[in-house]
Amino acid sequence: MWMRASLAYRTSFWMLTIGGFVVGGLDMVGIWILFQTIDRLGGFSLTEVAFLYGAAGFGLAVADMIVGQVERVGQLVRLGKLDVMMVRPLPLLSQVCAEQFALRRVSRVLLTAGILTWGAAYVDWTPLRAAVTVSMLMSGVVIFAAVWITFATIQFWTADSAEIANAFTYGGSTVTQYPLAIYPSEVIKALTFAVPLAFVNWYPALYVLDRDDPLGLPTAFQFASPVVALVLTGIAALAWRTGVRHYTSTGS
């Protein structure tokens, strides 16, 4: 329904879609400009940074398009719309994620996929590296989606705290778009053991790009993204069920 609604005004849809593509591309243009004055960033070349940027951005973009609307759960609670959804014979989470679905966000998916493809063109590919890349992309989507849902459930108890989730999704994507080697070791450890966003692209990319881990962590970390995604999915499911069970309605 929301897809049909967005396509009803085709000129507006294409303007928003192209605009999102252009605005998103400016980030990569900024990185390209930066590399006009330096040869390496944290020991990584421009194409390697493009690979990291595309992988992190793709995971966020797909997760945003699929479950990004869950950040509006607080607004749905205040307006009483969540009560309406709960009486429908459909999964509550799917209804929340589908509410006001924005098809124009596909522009970000295409942009990051293009940047990733450019960076991947300079990789010395093997069957295992290809498999790790596919696993990285799928796991990245799941990790970002799980983080989004987990932190969105806080809004069952608070009036509005969407920015908490955004700090770890959009903010986490911004951090992981660059080589984590440029950050202090404490940041890398936090993104590994506290909020494991480093598994979105950093650890698998180290294997694909044939780079050494600056922290000297076990090589197994470079293949652990699917495990992390599975664990975070379990946490997100538990958090969502807990939030729904404690929801007492607004009475509207």
Q: What is the DSSP string of 124-169?
A: ---HHHHHHHHHHHHHHHHHHHHHHHHHHGGGGTSS--HHHHHHHH
Half-sphere exposure at residue 211, Cβ-oriented, CA atoms within 13 angstroms:
22
pLDDT-based confidence at residue 160 (cuts at 50, 70, 90): low
pLDDT tens readout for residues 170-227: 888 889 999 999 999 999 999 999 999 999 999 999 999 999 998 888 999 999 999 9
| Number of Cα atoms under 13 Å in the Cβ half of residue 38 | 14
Q: Which of 14-18, 126-130, 168-172 has the highest mean pLDDT?
A: 126-130
Q: pLDDT (tens digit, 9 = 90+) per residue, 162-171?
A: 677 778 888 8
pLDDT tens-digit series, residues 146-155: 999 999 898 8
List pLDDT tens digits, range 94-110. 999 888 787 778 888 99
pLDDT one-digit tens code per residue, 43-76: 999 999 999 999 999 999 999 999 988 988 888 8
CB 235, CB 62: distance < 8 Å: no
pLDDT of residue 164: 75
Residues 6+ apart with CB under 8 A from 6: 13, 101, 102, 103, 104
- Residues 7, 13 contacting (CB under 8 angstroms): yes
Residue spans of alpha helices (H) in the chain: 2-7, 10-34, 46-67, 73-79, 81-86, 92-98, 106-120, 127-152, 162-176, 185-189, 198-208, 225-245
Domain ranges of the chain: 9-245
Residue 198: the pLDDT is: 95
Query: Range with the lowest mean pLDDT among 8-17, 67-76, 133-142?
Result: 8-17
Q: Which of the four pLDDT bands, split at 50, 70 and 90, describes residue 2?
A: confident
Is residue 160 within 8 Å of 71, Cβ to Cβ? no
| Candidate from 67-81, 108-122, 161-175, 232-246 with smallest mean pLDDT | 161-175
> If 0-12 CB within 10 Å is exposed, 13-18 middle and 19+ buried, where does residue 28 land?
buried
Residue 250 has pLDDT above 70, yes or no: no
Q: Is 70 exceeded by the pLDDT of residue 161?
A: no
Nearest C-alpha neighbor of 156 from the set 209, 231, 86, 215:
86
Q: Is residue 232 pLDDT above 60, yes or no?
A: yes
Residue type at 76 in one-letter notation: L
Residue type at 226 in one-letter notation? P
Mean pLDDT of 112-136: 95
Please report how many Cα atoms fall inside a 13 Å half-sphere around the Cα of residue 53, on the Cβ side.
Answer: 26
Q: What is the rounded average pLDDT for all residues in the chain?
A: 89
